[in-house]
Amino acid sequence: MEPLSYTRLMFLGHFAVGLAAKKLTPYTSLGTLVVAAQLVDLIWPTFLLLGIERVRIDPGNTAVTPLAFEHYPWTHSLAMSVVWAASFAALYGFFRRYPRGAWVVASAVLSHWLLDFLTHRPDLPIAPGFEREVGLGLWHSVRVTVAVELAMFAGGVWLYARSTEAVDRLGTYVLGGFVAALLLIYAANLLGPPPPSARAIAMAGHAQWVLVLWAMWIDRHRVAIRQWQ
């Protein structure tokens, strides 16, 4: 769990979107929704390792993150977010034949850029090769960032818990454990030392897939309550 604290990105806010989305698309697995909301942060560590994108340790870059996002247009530009959203939704639609789910999945992928736009200082590219960078810089304030992310997370957990019910005991415990783990990782993120290297960030980033598996596991032990559509 500890290395996960090296990622230093918006975290709870994206998971909040994945959890809340369940209410809109009850037949979609929480695992899929978490992947959608976190898609570009799940791809980013791989692109870092491959040298396609670059990050530098820079304590004080903003109050919240000690990272300077030097080059990440393929995962984090607005244009590429649209491409990722369309691709992931198309794949989902092809395999699941559930149009409502495909639309929600696409929106969740896009929500990632919007939330990063809110938090990052102006370092988010508009498109690869187009140098204009944007960001509203919520990360300049730790207090406001934490308040916003915790409120979003509480809302997401509440919506997910209310729109599903446990089919067995595990359904409650596995969800409770997930919430606790995310909060611990978040605290470690904020309070821990800066990551030792860009490589450590990339390695830690891959550990996020464990959380995706965990979300899939939760979904196997809970069913949607209102089975509309």
List contacts with Zn ion (CB under 5 A). 41, 116
Minimum distance from CB of 31 to Zn ion (Å)? 19
Minimum distance from CB of 69 to Zn ion (Å)? 9
Cβ proximity to Zn ion, 41 vs 149, nearer residue: 41
Minimum distance from CB of 109 to Zn ion (Å)? 11
Cβ proximity to Zn ion, 41 vs 53, nearer residue: 41
Minimum distance from CB of 8 to Zn ion (Å)? 11
Cβ proximity to Zn ion, 9 vs 175, nearer residue: 9
Cβ proximity to Zn ion, 41 vs 219, nearer residue: 41
Q: Which residues touch 118 (CB under 8 Å, ≥6 apart)?
A: 136, 138, 148
